[in-house]
Chains A and B, each alone.
Chain A
Amino acid sequence: MSWSLTPLEIEALGLSLKVAAWATVASLPLGVFVAWILARHRFPGHGILNGVVHLPLVLPPVVVGYVLLVALGRGGALGGWLYDTFGVSLAFTWKGAAVAAAVMAFPLMVRAMRLSLEAVDPGLEHAARTLGAAPLRVFFTVTLPLMLPGVVTGSVLAFARALGEFGATITFVSNIPGETQTLPLALYSFTQVPGGENSALRLAVLAVIVALVALIASEALARRVRRMTHGEDHG
């Protein structure tokens, strides 16, 4: 058995990282915004928004994938509009895979950010306002820096969740090698063909390594950020 990766493995790994990275980065601003709305505001529909955000956590992923297919497929209302206006097609492309991964990872991202935001003392925000800072400046100079540990944790959790996304992805964008066949999908394919056990095992080990590296890196990063935001002089 060779230690070097086969072209197919490299392709699946690269695609997985690309999809997960895009899913995380693109949903980051919306995640911070939704966390802020949920943590700092009470309004009619607060409970509904909270429920919708958390829905992917409890729904079968196939259902999420199916909803995405109906809404964002080229025949769907939103998907049709996207295609007509921007010429963007999500169904059966890696972009669609990123959308599916982002939706599935979103609740984890928002949860971590919201927890961290709720730990930020609103008194500090009040103090900033009496010092002449308008709400937007307060957010970017006080609130956001102080919730940064949660932003890091939320992003890493979302990234890890996006790497592992399977059900919604295969339902929405299918299993196309080189386009939508991420690591979990490739692994699944190998388990479906005779003699694929060895390749499946290699991919499984690869998935474990990537996830471990991501978690360890996030811990180190979160520690650093925490020291930076709440820290001692020579942190």
Chain B
Amino acid sequence: MADRLSLNVQRRRGDFTIDVKIDAGPGITTLFGKSGAGKSTIVAMLAGLIKPDSGHIRVDGHTLFDSTQGIDIAPERRHVGYVFQDARLFPHMNVAQNLRYGLGRLDADKRAETYARVVDLLGLEGLRQRRPANLSGGEKQRVAIGRALLSNPRILLMDEPLASLDAARKSEILPYIERLATDFDLPVVYVSHAVEEVVRLSDTLVLISNGQVAAQGAVEDIMGRIDLGPLTGRYEAGAVLSPTVDAHVDEHHLTKLNLLGHDMFVPSVDLAQGQRVRLRVRARDVSLALARPEGTSILNILPCTVREIQSGAGSHVEVALSVTAMTNNSSENTPQTVLARITQKSLSDMQLAPGKSVHALIKAVAIDRHSLGGHGAGTNRR
């Protein structure tokens, strides 16, 4: 499928230069990076609120900006939905009036139906007469998302929409965001510096660093790259695995997953059998063993091959491991990477080198629960 978004922009202010080229298909494209990396400026340029020095921006075949052709469409004519970190609801209007503010861009005969659909999807029915001052942070963001959806956008931009919310509110809103891209067939550009949101939402991950694109691709590939460690967060380095749900082991409150034919156990997740999930395993939660250990409390033992070793100046090293597939079912065989952080001493004691076979040991309780979410590029997300 053709790119829904093609963006290539440059902008220089003082000694900070933004120079990015991003091509994204359908689904959710996340811009991930530290604060001040230029993520918000990039989406503001997409919306027309900040003007690039040069380059082009195209969405679904419509040129929104092109410096060589002198095109710079005004924000109100770009059909770009924008959800801000601080919601930016109009305080003098109630929820219904906020929702209807951009409705004029929708065909008149579609307004009632779309309005009802968005109110239903985001659970806004009971809020319609309320003023923004009386909404919780999570409710505000749901209204802001609804308001953007109702303005008939060709693309939806979300600039850290969850950053000001607590964990409970975040998990309240994440499922709605997951459904947007598929339910509305809308490309979404999602800005975040929170790794768990990125792991859960990304169809395409764009790593932004210092105004540049450091890497672009599938979450599993980028999070599994050792060399990007400093950018994805060194202390929190961790790879992303995408197993499928195999069975629920209710008596132990666990869910059994299948990763390339190996069993994995994680704390119970409420997902249907056969569904692909993503989970992030922090490098510091992974231990290595040369032989398969017996009589251990560790539930997850994955046979792997050492792919790459990166030693730093400190006492520890990062090891990238490719999980050895047990099945030959080709559709299941997307390569899976585990990152492990071990000491320099263990590295030399175990005589690890690329190509060597080892077992990766992962405690079930260490698996980042926040990153667990049903996922499968455009398929049955529920």
**Least Cβ–Cβ distance between A140 and chain B, in angstroms:** 12
**Least Cβ–Cβ distance between A104 and chain B, in angstroms:** 32
Residue of A nearest to B102 (CB): A131
Report B-chain residues with C-beta under 8 Å of the C-beta of A141: 101
Contact A146 to B92, CB < 8 A, known contacts A126-B75, A233-B134 = yes
Whether B76 contacts A133 by the Cβ 8 Å rule is yes
- The complex places the Cα of A145 from the Cα of B93 at a distance, in Å, of 10
* CB proximity to A under 8 Å, residues B355-371: none
- The complex places the Cα of A212 from the Cα of B173 at a distance, in Å, of 52
Q: How many residues of A contact B (CB 8 A)?
A: 22
- The complex places the Cα of A197 from the Cα of B278 at a distance, in Å, of 91
Report B-chain residues with C-beta under 8 Å of the C-beta of A123: 84, 86, 88
Whether B131 contacts A128 by the Cβ 8 Å rule is no
Whether B76 contacts A142 by the Cβ 8 Å rule is no
Residue of B nearest to A125 (CB): B88
Whether B105 contacts A229 by the Cβ 8 Å rule is no
- The complex places the Cα of A131 from the Cα of B156 at a distance, in Å, of 11
Whether A231 contacts B131 by the Cβ 8 Å rule is yes
Contact A128 to B134, CB < 8 A, known contacts A133-B76, A133-B101, A134-B76 = no
Report A-chain residues with C-beta under 8 Å of the C-beta of B90: 124, 127-128, 142
Whether A232 contacts B76 by the Cβ 8 Å rule is no
Whether A131 contacts B129 by the Cβ 8 Å rule is no
Whether A132 contacts B105 by the Cβ 8 Å rule is yes
* CB proximity to A under 8 Å, residues B92-109: 92, 94, 101-102, 104-105
- The complex places the Cα of A204 from the Cα of B145 at a distance, in Å, of 59
Contact A145 to B92, CB < 8 A, known contacts A130-B75, A133-B101 = yes
Whether B92 contacts A127 by the Cβ 8 Å rule is no
Q: Is the interface of A mostly helix, strand, loop or mixed?
A: helix
Contact A124 to B88, CB < 8 A, known contacts A130-B75, A134-B76 = yes
B76 CB contact (under 8 Å) in A132, A146, A230: A132
Whether A130 contacts B76 by the Cβ 8 Å rule is yes
Whether A129 contacts B92 by the Cβ 8 Å rule is no
B130 within 8 A of A: yes
* CB proximity to B under 8 Å, residues A131-152: 131-134, 141-142, 145-146
Report B-chain residues with C-beta under 8 Å of the C-beta of A128: 90, 101
Most chain B Cβ neighbours within 10 Å, of A127, A146, A232: A127
Residue of B nearest to A126 (CB): B49
A130 CB contact (under 8 Å) in B47, B86, B92, B129: B47
B148 within 8 A of A: yes
The contact size tier of chain B is 20 to 34
* CB proximity to B under 8 Å, residues A86-139: 121, 123-124, 126-134
Whether B91 contacts A127 by the Cβ 8 Å rule is no
Report A-chain residues with C-beta under 8 Å of the C-beta of B147: 131
B78 within 8 A of A: yes
Residue of A nearest to B44 (CB): A126
- The complex places the Cα of A79 from the Cα of B175 at a distance, in Å, of 69
Residue of B nearest to A137 (CB): B76
Whether B133 contacts A232 by the Cβ 8 Å rule is yes
Report B-chain residues with C-beta under 8 Å of the C-beta of A232: 131, 133-134
* CB proximity to A under 8 Å, residues B148-169: 148, 151-152
**Least Cβ–Cβ distance between A232 and chain B, in angstroms:** 6
Report A-chain residues with C-beta under 8 Å of the C-beta of B134: 232-233
- The complex places the Cα of A131 from the Cα of B94 at a distance, in Å, of 16
Whether A229 contacts B75 by the Cβ 8 Å rule is no
- The complex places the Cα of A112 from the Cα of B189 at a distance, in Å, of 41
* CB proximity to B under 8 Å, residues A188-212: none
Report B-chain residues with C-beta under 8 Å of the C-beta of A228: 92
* CB proximity to A under 8 Å, residues B161-199: none
Report A-chain residues with C-beta under 8 Å of the C-beta of B78: 130
B32 within 8 A of A: no
**Least Cβ–Cβ distance between A234 and chain B, in angstroms:** 9
B101 CB contact (under 8 Å) in A126, A131, A146: A131
- The complex places the Cα of A131 from the Cα of B148 at a distance, in Å, of 7
Whether A230 contacts B91 by the Cβ 8 Å rule is yes
Q: How would residues 100 to 132 of chain B score, 1 for a CB under 8 Å from any chain A CB and 0 otherwise?
A: 011011000000000000000000000001110
Q: How would residues 61 to 83 of chain A score, 1 for a CB under 8 Å from any chain B CB and 0 otherwise?
A: 00000000000000000000000
B320 within 8 A of A: no
**Least Cβ–Cβ distance between B66 and chain A, in angstroms:** 20
Whether A146 contacts B86 by the Cβ 8 Å rule is no
B81 within 8 A of A: yes
**Least Cβ–Cβ distance between A224 and chain B, in angstroms:** 13
Report B-chain residues with C-beta under 8 Å of the C-beta of A127: 82, 84, 88, 90
Report A-chain residues with C-beta under 8 Å of the C-beta of B81: 130
Report A-chain residues with C-beta under 8 Å of the C-beta of B148: 130-131
Report A-chain residues with C-beta under 8 Å of the C-beta of B151: 130-132
**Least Cβ–Cβ distance between B38 and chain A, in angstroms:** 18
B237 within 8 A of A: no
- The complex places the Cα of A230 from the Cα of B94 at a distance, in Å, of 10
**Least Cβ–Cβ distance between B90 and chain A, in angstroms:** 6
29 A–B pairs (Cβ distance < 8 Å), ordered by A: A121-B88, A123-B88, A127-B82, A127-B88, A128-B101, A129-B49, A129-B75, A130-B47, A130-B76, A130-B78, A130-B80, A130-B81, A130-B151, A131-B151, A132-B76, A132-B77, A132-B102, A132-B104, A132-B151, A133-B76, A133-B101, A146-B91, A146-B92, A229-B91, A230-B91, A230-B133, A231-B133, A233-B129, A233-B134
Additional pairs, 5, CB under 8 Å, beyond known A123-B84, A126-B47: A129-B49, A132-B152, A146-B91, A228-B92, A232-B134
* Closest CB pairs A-B (n = 3): A131-B102, A127-B88, A129-B75
